[in-house]
Amino acid sequence: MISIAPSILSADFARLGEEVRAVDEAGADWIHVDVMDGHFVPNITIGSAVVKAIRSYTTKPLDVHLMVAPVDAFLEPFADAGADSITVHAEAGPHLSRTLQRTRELGVRVGVAINPATPVTVVEHVLDDADLVLVMSVNPGFGGQRFIAATVEKVARLRALIGDRAVDVQVDGGIIVGNAAAVVSAGANVLVAGSAVFTGGPERYAANIADLREAASAE
């Protein structure tokens, strides 16, 4: 089962609630929420107050991606705001295992993200503490970037490390119809897509999601 997680970074921020509702109704499985602090990544987006504000616009899982360092102080505010999963970056601090344990204690799904230059072995010893590993296929901070092709082989290595654990593999950045099948064949089961979903405006969201879903399941 492949999940499509539209990233609202590419949505119209002036109408975020309606955009979340629209992409939910267009067939999104999860809603990917990109949180950027202007320190870990060279961009600032939204905080927990915005997650709280959009919570009532969808019943789909709010998949919060914290591009934040240090991150521990922000775990509880985002869990309280209604996040269903919280993904932290392995590169955000020296105590990843403790951060994941704290996230687990908050009762949300636990995710760990790795940047393009970070080897999958960095998460090897925390795979039992995570429900999801997010493999960045662009350098984080912006939507609309080009997919880094080396991600495909990296996803395959990660899926081999995960083995038979029930851990989702999410790929995030530059996902389009043209590369969806390759990342799924390599072992990804959750695709984050911002510009590919939101391009063309609300009247295109359902078709864009359907196109991605069809491409992802193509052999």
Q: Is 27 in the site for ligand DX5 (CB under 6 A)?
A: no
Q: Are 86 and 108 in contact (CB under 8 A)?
A: yes
Of the pair 111, 187, the CB lying nearest ligand DX5 is at 111
Of the pair 88, 193, the CB lying nearest ligand DX5 is at 193
Q: Is 44 helix (H, G, I), strand (E, B) or coil?
A: strand
Q: Is 69 helix (H, G, I), strand (E, B) or coil?
A: coil
What is the rounded CA–CA span in Å between residue 209 and residue 201? Answer: 12
User: Cβ of residue 219: shortest distance to ligand DX5, in angstroms?
Assistant: 23
Q: Is 34 in the site for Zn ion (CB under 5 A)?
A: yes
Q: Are 186 and 159 in contact (CB under 8 A)?
A: yes
Of the pair 131, 172, the CB lying nearest Zn ion is at 172
Q: In this chain, which of 145, 148, 206, 213 binds ligand DX5, going by CB under 6 A?
A: 145
Sheet holding 190-193, edge to edge: 3-6, 190-193, 168-172, 132-136, 109-114, 85-89, 62-67, 31-36
Q: Is 24 a catalytic residue?
A: no
Q: Is 34 a catalytic residue?
A: yes
State the binding partner of 144 from ligand DX5, Zn ion, none, CB within 5 to 8 A by kind.
Answer: ligand DX5
Q: Is 65 in the site for Zn ion (CB under 5 A)?
A: yes
Q: Is 9 in the site for ligand DX5 (CB under 6 A)?
A: yes
What is the rounded CA–CA span in Å between residue 11 and residue 6? Answer: 9
Q: Give me the residues that bind Zn ion (CB under 5 A), please.
A: 34, 65, 172
Q: Which residues form the catalytic set? A: 34, 172
